[in-house]
Structure 1
């Protein structure tokens, strides 16, 4: 039995502006109370992550960095459930340590919602 790798490798990251722009221009998204997932299928066998946390959402850099750290960790633990997709996560509102379990639940719900949408899109018509 081969266990999935839980590493967050460089190849699993969106780094270039063009990669972010193509996901945003694709205009597909799923959203919850705290988070919005913008997504676009890719030809790779793995998911890639990009994060956008603006000053409008979290004024202090400490808060923005905490949000990004939590999103990276949740993606790292759940990346084996995602098909080949480019994913940009953008928070709707600021959250802290007290809302972590709520954010974790929402992340898992959005991943399953995303999986359902992707399987519907891939079915022949």
Structure 2
């Protein structure tokens, strides 16, 4: 049994990231920033852009990536056909459930616009 995020559910190419960045809808929270664009395919996709400028330590960047992937994986059946690019913002450390809840709210907020 495979519990990871499938390859089809990821944004992998730089041209796909550029497509979302150019015409996407932005939503900002305290810890996250999400850009989303409607997609014609059948499943939502996730892209991660966690910068060294925002979180210098790899441990912190990896934690944000882990939380984002897991939140997306658990909720992707409830999300419509959108491309999401998730970015971390500078913030004080908080627990993972707080990060996950805020990211889920941003997913819902950006898809309603």
TM-score, normalising length: structure 1: 0.81
Return the index of the structure with the highest Cα Rg: 1
Counterpart contact for 2:35–2:110, Cα < 8 Å: no
2:83 aligned with 1:83, yes or no? no
Between the two proteins, the alignment pairs up a number of residues equal to: 112
CA shift for structure 1 position 101:
2.1
Q: d(CA) in 1 for partners of 2:19 and 2:92?
A: 27
2:76 aligned with 1:46, yes or no? no
CA shift for structure 1 position 19:
0.3
Q: CA RMSD in A?
A: 1.8
- Larger relative helix fraction: 1
TM-score, normalising length: structure 2: 0.89
Match of 1:56 in 2: 53
Which of 1 and 2 has higher RCO (CA within 8 Å, sep 6+)? 2
Match of 2:98 in 1: 102
2:58 aligned with 1:72, yes or no? no
| Runs (5+) with no aligned partner, structure 2 | none
| Runs (5+) with no aligned partner, structure 1 | 1-5, 118-125
Divergent runs of 4+, >3 A: none
